Each structure stands twice: as C-alpha cells, then as structure tokens.
Structure 1
Amino acid sequence: MTPLIFDPIYSQLELPDRHRFPIEKYRALRDALLAGGALPSQFMRPKPVAPALIGNELSERYIQQFVAGELDRQAMRRIGFPWSDQLVKRTFTAVGGTILAGALSLERGRAINLTGGYHHAFYDYGAGFCIVNDLYLSALNLIQHYGIKRVLIFDCDVHQGDGTASLAQAREDIFTVSLHGEKNFPFRKKQSDIDVALPKGTTDDDYLAAVEATLEQALTEFRPEAVIYDAGADVHVNDDLGHFEISTQGVYERDRLVFARCEAAGLPVSAVIGGGYQRDIEALVEVHSQLFYAAGVCPRLTGDQTQAVSAPLR
C-alpha cells in the first residue's frame, strides 16, 4: 500500500485575490483521492523540518532571514509569495513531507507527497514559488541517514529544475535530470547532469519517447539506488504556464512508465506532485491524480467506466 503524505497546512496559506498559485489544490487532491478509493490509513502527516537542520546544508543566513521575515522585498518578489508565519510553517512542513516520502519509499517501494517539487530554490535564495529545495534535501537525507550511495532526481516538471541542478552540481552521489520546456521559466537555465529541453507544442508521442529514453540513460549511466520523481502536472495541454500539448492520458502514461521502469530495476521511488497551474481546480486535480492512478492508489476513471489500473506494473 503506497503511503501518501499530507498535512492540511499544504493548502492553508492566505494569498491575494487572483494569485497565480493554486494553493487550494492540495486539499482538493486529498479529498478526491479519498472519494476515489484511497484509504484514510494510507495518509501520513509529516513533521516540519527544523530550520536549524536545513541551515546546515543551505545558507544559514538565508534560512534565518526567511524564518524571521527579514528577506527584502526583492527576495520575496522573486519567490512570489507574501511573507507570513503560515508560509514559514508550510514551507518546513512540505519539506518534511518529501523527506518522509523518501524514507518510506525505502520500506514500501514507493511513497508520494501531496506537495513538493520546489526545484527553483537555491542555496541562498528562492524563486518561482520555491523557498527551500525539498528534492535536494530529501536526497541528502537518504544518503546521510540511510546509507544510499546514489540518488537520482528525475524531474518532469515543465520548468527546468535549476535550483536542484545548482545545489547538486558538485556532488557525485546525486544525479539530476530535467525534462522541461525549452522556452519557459527559468529563462536562464542551469546545467543538470542530463537536460532535455523540449519545444513548445510537444505532444504525447514525442514526450513519452523522450521520458523513456532519458530515464533509461539515467539508470544506465548513474546506477542509482533510489529515485526521487517530480511528476509535474504543468506539462498538460490546458496548463496556463506549460506550453506543451500533453493529454491527460499522456500524463498517466508518463507516470506509469516511471513507476514501472523503476520497479523493474528494483528501485524505490518517492514522488512529489510538482507544478500545475490551471485555475480550474477540479480539472487540475484530475491531472495531478494521474500520478496516484499510475501508482495504483485508486482506480482510474475513463469516460463513463471505471478501469482498475492498479494491476501489476509491467
């Protein structure tokens, strides 16, 4: 049974009217999964990570200034959120969720955090709705506390994982892969171990071929012992910030491909839901839900029929 990591604080953040970030999607996704057949016992609540522990791996000054609300206006504008005590609590709880998912994946084979993918956060600054890089810190936790020697961060968000690439650049035990939009945010890309920049209008067949080939390359070259998967839903055709033409079926096939290939290789996978920016929350939740259908958390609805797609992965 796949552990699902969730805390109500994921959606408890007051934002200005018409703010670009769909903060309510996390609670709506939890509710949809429960309605669709996920068991309440699958949900686990993470503990917030202590800022002092994060300060050991990131800029202590940056973390202290964020916690105290002392980042300047320009720094907060780059992040994209107004500062609040709730933002601080939410940030460290979300990071704790991704770290918990990583640890649980070693026991259960896979685990999913119902937030995460804050890959635009760097050593000493945040950007693009990302304050602290949960992907990088989860990889470090697996290495430092669980004896994992090599972690693959496989990022399929439509935006390049520039912060993750920068943080892990000097490390040989963390391998970063990003498949993203060529002409999309961030416009100044950083260098991952493997970058696959895809053009606007990319469709299912080309996208899935790129995901499969890139994952195979990463597994062959790096030989990871654990995988952290950023399953961004912003690749979807209806995403306001995506610029790809990927169908809902294409998102499902991508997520199923990643789980299946990693399972065949005997690799634990911890996943995060990543970006997704449709203003229609119900439609956005359906795209994010493909990750959970692919993991066999609950059956997938297609048309007027329910298809039990939680069969053994190929």
Structure 2
Amino acid sequence: MVKIAWHPLYAHPLPEGHRFPMIKYELIPGQLLHEGLISAANLFEPGLLEEEVVLYAHQKAYWEQLKSLSLPAREQRRIGFPLTAQLLEREIRIAKGTVDGSGYALQYGIAFNVAGGTHHAGSNWGEGFCLLNDQAIAANYLLNNGLAKHILIIDLDVHQGNGTAEIFENEPRVFTFSMHGDKNFPFRKEKSDLDIALGDGTGDAEFLSKLKESLPLLLAHRPDFVFYLSGVDVLASDKLGKLALSKEGCRERDRMVLQFCKDHHLPVQVSMGGGYSPAIKDIVDAHCSTFKIGLDIFE
C-alpha cells in the first residue's frame, strides 16, 4: 500500500504579513480522497523527529538555536519568516514524514510527503522558507542505519537544491542532481554532483530533452534508493519560477522520473516542493498529478 505523509500542522498559516500558499497542504489529500485515488488508510500522520536524526544532516549549534528559538534576526530574515515553536514543530513533522516515508518506500516501492522538499536548508543555515532539509535528513538516516548504500537525489524544483548540495558535498555515497532555473533563487548556488542550469523561458521540449539525457547518466552512481523533489514551480503559470513548462510537460517530467525508478527497481520517496501559481487550483492539480502518476506506475 502506498503511504503518504500528511499532518494538519502542514497547513498551519504563517504569521500575518507572511503569505504563503499553505492551503495546498489541505487540498491535495482532500482532492486525492475525493477522486477515489486513495483512502484514509494511505495517509499517515508523522510524529516528532528524534533529535539525533536531525543531527544526521544539521550542525548541533544551528539545531540548538532553532530549538531554543534563539536564531539571530538576520538568520530568520534569510529563512523568510519569524521563527516560532509551532513553525519549528511543523518542520520537524515534515522531516519525520520523509524519514518514515523512506521506510515505506523500501517496503512498497514508492512513498510521498504532501509537504517537504525543504532543500534550501544547509547544514548550519535555513533559507527560502526551509528550516530543516527533510530529504537530506532521510538520506543520512538510511545510510546510518544500513538501509541504503548509494543514494540518488533528483531535484527538479525550479530552484537549485543548494542546501542539499552543501550537506552532501563530501559524501560520496549520495549523488545530488539539480535541474533548475539559472537566474532564479538562490542567487549564490552551491555545487551539486550534477547541475543543469536552465535559461528563463525554458519550455517542455528543452526541459524534457535534458532530463532524458541526464537520467541514464545517474545510474553510474549505482543507486539503490532515490529521493525525488517534484516542485511544480516549473510551470509557466508560476509567479516565481521563470520557466515555461505546461501542465502536460510537468506530468511527463514526473512520468519519466518515476518510470526510471520503477524500471531500475529503485525505491523512491517523493516530496512535493514549491508551487506558486496565482490560482491555487493550478498548484493542487499539478501536485495531484504527481501522485496519480506514481500510483499508476507503482501499483
């Protein structure tokens, strides 16, 4: 049974003045249930992530500042919103959902997190609405517990996975692949194992061609587990993305990645990442399409 991490706190609103399309975290599981694609049994509510697991990816001094809510104001501005206990708990539960989801993926082939994809968080910083790097934490959890030997992280959010790249800079067991907008946030990029920078306005044909060329190259790392960040901020309708993928192109992107995992017998955990189209329906439809494709390929 495909398992999907979701928690009511995922949709917790940010403080006044810090708008963010958080409602998608309620609408996505609701839409999947409404369409009969999943049942309540597919959903699980993650608990609180153990401190020792957080420290697999993040430096203790940074974690202590988060835990004590003493992160300096300039670092909170880098994150993009004020640090509160409830927001930290939200991030901890998101990371726990990805850690638990990786275990379910080993069991069932694929697992999802309705949230996650917090790839801007580095080992000792938060940035771009990210406090803790959920997939980096989960990757190190698998490695440290002997559940995987070589991990591949496929990051197709429109923004480079700079935090993920920094965390695994000196970790040969993890291969980081990021295909992203060249002139988009973060403006100071880190070095992934493979970066493909795309120009503004890149559409379906170029994007999918580059992805098709890249996927076979990733097998040289001999992965036995994949984390996939499936941000839908690559859409032409996205107000922050600067790329020009159609909904059909975004669906084909997901199909290519998830079929690649299935064909090569690679368990995959999928985190949703960003999406900032003005119409919430466009965001939810694109995210739900990722679930639909995964369910079709793996069930």
Q: TM-score, normalised by structure 2?
A: 0.96
Contact 2:224–2:266 (CA under 8 A) maintained in structure 1: yes
Aligned to 2:251: 252
Aligned to 2:167: 167
Label 1:61 to 1:36 Cα distance change in 2 as closer, same or farther (>3 A).
same
CA-atom RMSD, angstroms? Answer: 1.5
Equivalent residues in 2 for 1:1-314 (5 A)?
1-17=1-17, 19-37=18-36, 38-55=38-55, 57-219=57-219, 221-296=220-295, 310=296
Any gaps of 5 or more consecutive residues in structure 2? none
Q: CA deviation at 1:13?
A: 3.3
- After superposition, give the CA deviation of every residue in 1:3-49 in whole Å (9 maximum; x if it has no partner): 111111101133324x3421111111111111111211111111221
Label 1:188 to 1:14 Cα distance change in 2 as closer, same or farther (>3 A).
closer
Amino acid of the structure 1 residue aligned with 2:86: Q
Q: Secondary structure at the match of 1:229?
A: strand
Contact 1:175–1:193 (CA under 8 A) maintained in structure 2: yes
Q: CA deviation at 1:206?
A: 1.0
Q: CA deviation at 1:123?
A: 1.0
- Alpha-carbon distance in 2 for matches of 1:294, 1:126: 31
- Alpha-carbon distance in 2 for matches of 1:255, 1:263: 12
Q: CA deviation at 1:50?
A: 2.3
Label 1:311 to 1:122 Cα distance change in 2 as closer, same or farther (>3 A).
closer
Label 1:185 to 1:22 Cα distance change in 2 as closer, same or farther (>3 A).
same
Label 1:98 to 1:76 Cα distance change in 2 as closer, same or farther (>3 A).
same
Label 1:15 to 1:24 Cα distance change in 2 as closer, same or farther (>3 A).
farther
Q: CA deviation at 1:140?
A: 0.7
Contact 1:22–1:279 (CA under 8 A) maintained in structure 2: no
Amino acid of the structure 1 residue aligned with 2:198: L
Structure 1 segments, 4+ long, off by >3 Å, are none
- Alpha-carbon distance in 1 for matches of 2:297, 2:137: 32
- Alpha-carbon distance in 2 for matches of 1:254, 1:235: 10
- Alpha-carbon distance in 2 for matches of 1:67, 1:295: 35
Amino acid of the structure 2 residue aligned with 1:92: I
- Alpha-carbon distance in 1 for matches of 2:56, 2:152: 22
Q: How many residues align?
A: 298
Q: CA deviation at 1:85?
A: 1.3
Q: CA deviation at 1:57?
A: 3.9
- After superposition, give the CA deviation of every residue in 1:272-306 in whole Å (9 maximum; x if it has no partner): 0011112322221111112111112xxxxxxxxxx
- Alpha-carbon distance in 1 for matches of 2:185, 2:23: 23
- Alpha-carbon distance in 1 for matches of 2:228, 2:298: 20
Q: CA deviation at 1:162?
A: 0.5
Label 1:200 to 1:43 Cα distance change in 2 as closer, same or farther (>3 A).
same
Amino acid of the structure 2 residue aligned with 1:229: Y
- Alpha-carbon distance in 2 for matches of 1:267, 1:59: 30
Q: TM-score, normalised by structure 1?
A: 0.91
Amino acid of the structure 1 residue aligned with 2:241: G
- Alpha-carbon distance in 1 for matches of 2:259, 2:266: 10
Q: Secondary structure at the match of 2:145?
A: helix
Label 1:146 to 1:106 Cα distance change in 2 as closer, same or farther (>3 A).
farther
- Alpha-carbon distance in 2 for matches of 1:13, 1:49: 21
- Alpha-carbon distance in 2 for matches of 1:51, 1:280: 38
Amino acid of the structure 1 residue aligned with 2:164: T
Q: Secondary structure at the match of 1:295?
A: helix
- Alpha-carbon distance in 2 for matches of 1:270, 1:49: 17
Contact 1:177–1:194 (CA under 8 A) maintained in structure 2: yes
Amino acid of the structure 1 residue aligned with 2:236: V
Identity between Structure 1 and Structure 2 (%): 36
Label 1:70 to 1:280 Cα distance change in 2 as closer, same or farther (>3 A).
same
Amino acid of the structure 1 residue aligned with 2:278: R
- Alpha-carbon distance in 1 for matches of 2:271, 2:159: 15
Contact 2:258–2:297 (CA under 8 A) maintained in structure 1: no
Contact 1:118–1:135 (CA under 8 A) maintained in structure 2: yes
Q: CA deviation at 1:172?
A: 0.6
